[in-house]
Amino acid sequence: MEINQAKSAVAAAVAARSELLTGLSRDLFEHPELCFEEFHAHDVLTDLLASEGMEVERSAHGLDTAFRAQAGRDGPLVAVLCEYDALPGLGHACGHNVIAAAGIGAGMAAASVAEACGGRVLILGTPAEEGGGGKEYMIRDGALAGVDAAMMVHPADQDLDGFWAIAIQEVNVTFTGRAAHAAAAPQFGLNALDAAVLSYQGIAALRQHIGSSERIHAIFTDGGQKPNVVPERAAMQCYVRSPTVGSLEVLKERVTACIEAGAMATGCRPSIEWAEVTYSDLQTNRAMSEAYAVNAGELGRTVRPREEAPDFMGSTDMGNVSHHVPSIHPMIKVAPEGIAIHTHEFATHAGGMGGDRAVLDGAIAMAQTVVDLWLRPELLRSATAEFTAVGGAGSSGSTARSRP
């Protein structure tokens, strides 16, 4: 099949399923589920793929809410990734309903021309992006074996070829002190809450002396039970971010020192548990992102380079994928510029008309980029050469040894 004919065919395939795909997005929006608990999303998405005649592996790679489906017999294997977990209290304020529906649409459209184009497409359902690291667990179980390139789109307030996704690791800390009556015998107590507060203050002071692209966020998850009892237990959770996995390790040591200092000052014992998964920095493949930008441009979208939005920063386990295969993670506009993700206001757009349009445009642009990778051998060669040149196919920097 000639490339322009194939691109027209995948666009028509998405258009023919427009109500199905936008309805899917809104269904997921109305049923938000937290990481590793996306059972409704898993069932709805896999049932849809099965209804299209695709062979679907449910609960794939040892994760209850992961899945995979593949089409095509020969040729380059391109993976389209779906996310579908939501945020506590905010629902789909990150727009993962759009990600899932656009990914499913792109995968089904590409599947419809796979054999005619001599290519293969893999649809991966990846749970728990919001802190669980589902993609990393799947990578370790071989989800990317034989994959030549990977992609997904993420909703935002603007169209970008990627975003500044830096490395992150979560740490949970529990302080153990000694209870005592706060009025009658405070001298016998060891205040675990004070240990947590002093640790937090140390981290707050540390923030003045870290790199401009590094971030530390912390909350208290336990601060005691009653004011008249010296808290014998307190807990906090921190996210520690740095541009690369290497620089993250250095920052983690400094954060650990703050925690240990707070515990030492109060005579309490700290239990420091770093999350099993580290999210790597995202390596955007320029050859692939340029192809995506052209395809999105044909739909009326102007995809700008991420350098024009330097403040758009975050982290994603798609970064781990990008260290294993050439990858793109473009941002697709669903809301007016200035409306930040992870807010109630952004959620209304992700579940509204802006989200609907992004589902269809994202599906078409990705499916057409899959076609480019199949029918333009020089593009895949360039993407692979670029990936190798930046040190791809290396470790994602994870420390996990088991699945949740």
Cβ(236)–Cβ(249) under 8 Å? Answer: no
pLDDT higher than 80, residue 394: no
pLDDT 10s digits, 335-387: 999 999 999 999 999 999 999 999 999 999 999 999 999 999 999 999 999 99
Cβ(128)–Cβ(85) under 8 Å? Answer: yes
Q: What's the burial of 184, exposed, middle or buried (CB within 10 Å: 0-12/13-18/19+)? A: exposed
pLDDT 10s digits, 96-109: 999 999 999 999 99
pLDDT score, position 393: 66
Average of per-residue pLDDT across 71-100:
97
Cβ(214)–Cβ(242) under 8 Å? Answer: yes
**pTM metric for this prediction:** 0.91
Tokens of 304: 């700008």
pLDDT score, position 253: 98
pLDDT higher than 90, residue 85: yes
Q: What angle do CA 205, 210, 216 make, to 5 degrees?
A: 70
Q: What's the burial of 97, exposed, middle or buried (CB within 10 Å: 0-12/13-18/19+)? A: buried
Closest by Cα among 29, 340, 397 to 163: 340
pLDDT 10s digits, 263-310: 999 999 999 999 999 999 999 999 999 999 999 999 999 999 988 887
- Conformation bin of residue 380: beta by default, left when phi > 0, alpha when psi is -120 to 50: alpha
Average of per-residue pLDDT across 200-217:
96
- What is the pLDDT of the chain when averaged over all its residues? 95
User: Could you tell me which residues are beta bridge partners of residue 67?
Assistant: 58, 125
Structural domains of the chain, ranges and CATH numbers in brackets: 3-164+281-389 (3.40.630.10), 167-274 (3.30.70.360)
